[in-house]
Structures are given as structure tokens and as C-alpha cells.
Chains A and B, each alone.
Chain A
Amino acid sequence: MGLLNRVLRIFVALTLLGSSALADIPQELQDVVFSGDLNGRSSVDFRSNARNIKSLVPKDSEATILETRQLKRTGSYGLKVRLTKVGDSKGTNSAKVGDEVWVYFSQKDPWLAFKDKEGSEVQDPEEALTSRAQRDGEGLPVEGTVSKPTLPTKEIVKATQKPLPSEDPNLAKNSDPKKTEGDICVNCSVAQTTDQAQRNIQNIRDVKTEINKSSASIPRNAAAGKWSDDPMIMRYSEGKEVKNSISYGIRNKRKKSSGYCYRYVKRALMGGDMIDRYPPGGHARDAVRDLKAQGMINLMDNPKYRDMIKSPADVPKGAVIVYHNGTKESGDVQIKTDWGSNGGFVSDFYSGNSFLSSPKARRYAAQGKPYRMIGVMIKP
């Protein structure tokens, strides 16, 4: 009894397992019927400039599927078919029965109907195609195409920045055009004293100065105003990453907006070593999320800082300001280039005024959809 019961149980379990496995198998593709005229190509390359069109496969043609490939670039499919019936066509370039060609299949705009081995219509052609494409070798890259677009790396960003202006750096520091290079002291060093004892004292003083410099925890800048007592803000704003990011932004800016504010800010932040990876977001409003993912923080999340920042003029130097108005708009993003109202704002172009003073922001404010600073991003 016990043995019979056990055998029965195993049989039921195997039956259930078999039926559920069978239910997941997609229908096997066999034939395809053309509901429109399609190009028959000699290779799996469907770009408009690919010179591989062999023939025109007219509407009402029928074919057997030989091979399928899912195209990584578009997600659509390439199907290699052998024609079994050719529809009516007046063209001279029409395909013939027996021809083997590649045709394009897009789920959005199919122009093809599929049948399985029993001749019944395939209910979900994309599932069946995916299954077969995986079996046949999914996503073989089309020759001459990039299968997946890649985001620029930090090295690429740095390598593609505009060259520095060819100005003599020594003369650039001279604000008085009457003085010659010899009159101004650039990187000048104090003449060495000849006496050994004096030199030793001087060396000790130099070391003391250096120690004092390195132990000073908060960088000082009189222009920082209310931020000057905040070590986190001061370290960020007076740090070399901010300096380099602003410098990259100003060096690569355009004369007027190109509509790529976030792209230019991303590059400036990467070029200044503020972030390591190219942020993926396509809209400026995504900057808060993208930059948080790379270790930056939003000062507007902290009530203490939110109270201190009422306008873009209050924003610390080097912070990335993200603007949005709660609509479907992309928003805007800028890097503040200096403290208080001293500096301007750089993104794809430089302006002495923040985005909130732009005609667009004023127009939206007048229409009751005002832009606000949704992010003031810094790296602690």
C-alpha cells in the first residue's frame, strides 16, 4: 500500500512538473506571411545606408523561418527566411520562390504574421522570436555598428576639453600693462642667505609655516560671508575639485545656450574630478538623483541650510544648483562660480545672472509655475 501510494505521488508530481514546463515553452515559429512589401537583404544589417538589399519581398508572400537575430541596438529582430510563395508584384526586383533573405521585424510596426508548425497563428510572436533568437545566438552585433552606446569616461571628458588660451601665465598675472615681466614677482623665491645659522633659522620658520598651514582645519576666505564658519562648506568650496570644475566649465562654455546645460555641467564635474562616472540622467531635474548616487549631498534636504539659502546668491561657491518647476519641463542646472553675488553661473554658457533671473524663469513665474532651487549639491 505504502509503495503504491509513493509511486502514485511520484507520478502526479512528474505530470504536474511536465505540464507546467510545457506551458512555458513558447510556440515554435515555422512560417511567416508578409502583410506588406519588405526589403530582402543579404545580411543582418538594416541600417538605411547598408547596401545589401537583394530584392523586394511583396505583400502576401510566404516563407519559412531559417534563423532569427535580436538586434541589440533597436531590440527589434532580423529574420532569415526561405520564400515558399511570392505575392503579386509589378517590380522587376521582386524576390523569387526559394530565395533566402533577411527581413526586418519590429513589434511596433510588424508587417509580418507568424505561424507555428501546426499552421496556427503564433499568439505572441515576440516571445517566440526572443526564444528562437536566444537559441540562434541573440544579439550578434551588426558589423559596423556599436551594440550599446557607452557614456564618456573621465579620461575622454578631460581629453576633449578646449585648449587653454595661449597667454603667457606670467604676464597674465600682471594687471598693470606698464610693468614688464621683470617688474612683477611671479613664483619668486627669497634669495638664500649666505650665513649657515641664518639659513637654519629660516628653514625652521618655513617648516613651522607649513605645519600651521596643514593643521588649519577650515580654509579661510573673507568673501564666504555666512559660510565662513562652516568647515564642510569651506572645505568643499575652497577645494581643488571645485576650482578645477569651475575652471573646466568656464574653459568649455559656449557664447550662448545650446540647450545642453546638464551635459556641460556633467562634463565640468568630471573634468574637475568631482565625480568619477558620467551621470546617466537626460534631464537637468535628474541631477539631484544622479549626483547623490556619486556621493554628493543636497543642502536643501537639511533645514539648517535651507534656511540659509533663499536665493542663488546665497549658494556657496562651486555648488551645483538644480532648478525645476514641478512640471514635465527638463529644468536647469548651473555651477556657482564664486561666493555671494561676486561670481556668476556656468553650465553650457556663462551668465552673471542665475537661471531664476532668466526670461524663461520669469515667464513661468508670471504664469504661476515658478522655478525653484530643488537641489544645491556639494560633496562633503
Chain B
Amino acid sequence: MKKTMMTLILCSFFATPAMAAFYDVREAIEKLHAAKVDALITVTEDTKLSEDEMKAQDKAFAALEAAVTTAVKESGTEELQEEIIKATVVLLKKDPTQYAGEVVLPLYEKNKKSFLSNLKKLPASDAKLVEDAVKSAARQIKSGNG
């Protein structure tokens, strides 16, 4: 009985970080879904955003940023990365400032090859949109915007 208890305690001790990481990833995905990026308004040249529209936009970018932080921190986050890229495509299409490129930059910098191979699952135009935005954000940090 004692042995079984010890084994259980040891197992739970080692499993806790893995379980925490799993829950972090699930939470990040759920937050991204809750942000409803598809429902955001598409901003054009003449769009004047209302308070509510700004709040919805802020929520989406905050969820994307949190998801990227989790994906950078944890390993084995393929599903989360796919969700991040999907949300990024939508945000880039709806926001002419292309801020989403800057938000996902840490994920691109963590593993460029993996990030670019994930883009291959997207339609070519969407993949190019994300790649351009991310590379532009990286270039701005390195060499500026002049």
C-alpha cells in the first residue's frame, strides 16, 4: 500500500508540469476561439472604429499575443501553432496596419523552419500574407522603417 502511494505521489509529481503545459495550451486555444477574430470588422481607409469595435480588436490581439507566448514557452504545441496562424491570417486581412505580423514574430524567431513549413498548409496567398508581415516586422526591428 505504501509503495503504491509512493508511486502515485512520484507519478503526480512528474506529471504536474506536463499537465500544466497541456492546460495552458488548451486555455490559449480556447481564448483564441473566444476572441472571435472572424467576427471582427474589416478596417478600410475610411473606417472610424467605435469603442466596442476597438475593444473586440484589442481582445483578439491580446488573445493572439497570449497564445504566441504559450507556443514559444511550451513544446509540442502544433495544434496551437495552427490556430495562431489561422487567426493571424484573418487579422492581417482585417487590419491594414498589419500588427498581427509583429505579434507572431516571437514564434517565427523561435523556429523559422517550423513556422514557414506550417504556412505551407495555407493557400498560397494567405501564406504569403503571413510571411510578408512577419518578415517586415523582423526587418523593422533590425533596420527600422525608413
Q: Which residues of A contact B (CB under 8 A)?
A: 255-263, 266, 279, 281-284, 286, 330, 332, 344, 349-353, 357-360, 362-363, 366
Contacts and interface: CB of A to CB of B under 8 A. Distances in A.
B61 A363 contact: yes
Which interface residue of A255, A261, A353, A357 has the most chain B CB atoms within 10 A? A353
Given A286-B146, A358-B99, 16 more contacts: A257-B97, A257-B98, A259-B98, A260-B145, A260-B146, A281-B144, A282-B143, A332-B145, A351-B45, A352-B48, A353-B49, A359-B97, A360-B97, A360-B102, A362-B54, A363-B65
A262 B145 contact: yes
B57 interface: yes
Nearest to B57: A359
Contact of B48 (A283, A349, A350, A353): A353
A263 B65 CA distance: 28
Contacts of A282: 143-146
A283 to B, nearest CB: 4
Nearest to B61: A359
B103 to A, nearest CB: 8
Interface stretch (B1-9, B14-22, B134-142): B134-142
A368 B131 CA distance: 29
B46 interface: yes
Question: Which residue of B99, B136, B137, B141 has the most chain A CB atoms within 10 A of its CB atom?
Answer: B99
B109 interface: no
Contacts of B96: 255-257, 349, 351
B146 A358 contact: no
A283 B58 contact: no
Contacts of B57: 359, 362
Max chain B Cβ within 10 angstroms of own Cβ: one of A281, A360, A366: A360
Nearest to B98: A257
B62 A363 contact: yes
B144 A330 contact: yes
A179 B126 CA distance: 44
Interface residues of B, number: 26
B83 interface: no
Nearest to B47: A352
19 contacts: A257-B96, A259-B140, A260-B145, A260-B146, A282-B144, A282-B146, A284-B146, A330-B141, A330-B144, A344-B46, A349-B96, A350-B45, A351-B45, A352-B47, A353-B48, A360-B97, A362-B54, A363-B58, A363-B61
A359 B95 contact: yes
Contacts of B144: 262, 281-284, 286, 330
Nearest to A250: B45
Contacts of A256: 96-98
Given A257-B98, A259-B139, A366-B58, A344 B146 contact: no
A263 B99 contact: no
A332 B136 CA distance: 14
Contacts of B62: 363, 366
- In the complex, the 3 A-B pairs of residues with the closest C-beta atoms, listed nearest first: A282-B144, A262-B146, A259-B136
Interface in B83-139: 95-99, 102, 136-137, 139
A308 to B, nearest CB: 23
A284 B97 contact: no
A282 B46 CA distance: 29
Contacts of B141: 330
